[in-house]
Structure 1
């Protein structure tokens, strides 16, 4: 799985030097002259949001790094954002991390230190990508359950036993067992406890949970 590192900085020499550094360490880098250019590229319908890490300078013109960050958040940008900041802007970078940025690095920095942070962010992005794919598959399977299977699932998640479910739905216990086995097979679970964990992990709310979730693909 390839992760693209997007370098957003209005200093051409710094931007190109950083791209060279990352390329020399085997990382795929792409440069942007500023936040406005990058935002245009990730507007809905313009491109897909492949697995990415963003390196964002906190002070840029005409659109600052913080303003770019806020607009990316508004778009639902899911990938790690690493801020680069001067000494006087550390407090702003800390605030950005508290607001959802992945990390920050103060200039001047050691090359190895930056590469280590970027590689860690790439691993985090790859884990998010894998989790997003699994979430979509789970929610697609959830949406494909029959109406009766959804009824059985709802009662199962409430902790009811097969006989209780059968009584409530007016069907036989054998029929409940049949639906239960199909539900576990379709949703990739071995037990009701595991199924409940998967429902919680993937943000599903009941058997009628939203099946359109997952990472944005614009």
Structure 2
């Protein structure tokens, strides 16, 4: 599994324990931290690592944690675990440097695969993750309506809201979303967000 450590930051002990057990059984080296504050104190001295953090924690949000890590020049790929409907916060986390986000409840394999992908980025600068020019050329293939849907999806709006705003049916939004994913060659929403950020869109 490589020479890196997976750091789990979550304020809920049962969650920390279950994640630690899952990842240890999958062969990862794991360290748990009960708060973002305690992790931040140790972060500058951490070598190769990958971070798994919850978005909503009492002492600071996952977004705040990532922002502070970046300010402290601690670069490690981070995977953010979000509750249902937290897509706008997850997008904010990706703007703050998160590599990926996973919505609860998730299958074990989804997290394990996300960590595997994130680990490939250890030591890289976040900007190297996606190729801007290639993404821009894919964006050029989108219709005006598809671009509108893309912007709304990346902003975290649900299909019903997008449908209402654009005055089209939710089913039509689903079709546009599928077309956007296909044209952008994105396998997941986090990947789509990453591409959009790499292309310099949605960074405001």
Q: Same fold (TM over 0.5)?
A: yes
What residue in structure 2 maps to residue 8 of structure 1?
Answer: 9
Root-mean-square deviation (Å)? 1.6
Q: How does 1:159-178 map to 2 (within 5 A)?
A: none
Q: SS where residue 47 of structure 2 aligns?
A: coil
C-alpha separation between the residues in 1 aligned to 2:43 and 2:112?
25
The structure 1 residue matched to 2:102, chosen from 86, 105, 113, is 105
**Stretches of structure 1 lacking an aligned partner (at least 5 in a row):** 130-218
The question of 1:54 aligning with 2:51 is answered yes
Structure 1 position 42, deviation (Å): 2.3
**Comparing 87-96 and 77-86, the one that deviates more:** 87-96
C-alpha separation between the residues in 2 aligned to 1:71 and 1:95?
14
C-alpha separation between the residues in 2 aligned to 1:80 and 1:42?
13
* Partner deviation per Cα, 1:119-155 (whole Å, 9 max, x = no partner): 1111221x539xxxxxxxxxxxxxxxxxxxxxxxxxx
Q: How many residues align?
A: 124
C-alpha separation between the residues in 2 aligned to 1:87 and 1:113?
16
What residue in structure 1 maps to residue 87 of structure 2?
Answer: 90
Q: Which has the larger radius of gyration?
A: 1
> Normalised by the size of structure 2, how large is the TM-score?
0.58
Q: SS where residue 53 of structure 1 aligns?
A: strand
C-alpha separation between the residues in 2 aligned to 1:92 and 1:62?
16
What residue in structure 2 maps to residue 32 of structure 1?
Answer: 33
C-alpha separation between the residues in 2 aligned to 1:78 and 1:40?
15
Provide runs of 4+ in structure 1 moved above 6 Å.
Answer: none
* Partner deviation per Cα, 1:71-98 (whole Å, 9 max, x = no partner): 1111011110110000121111012213
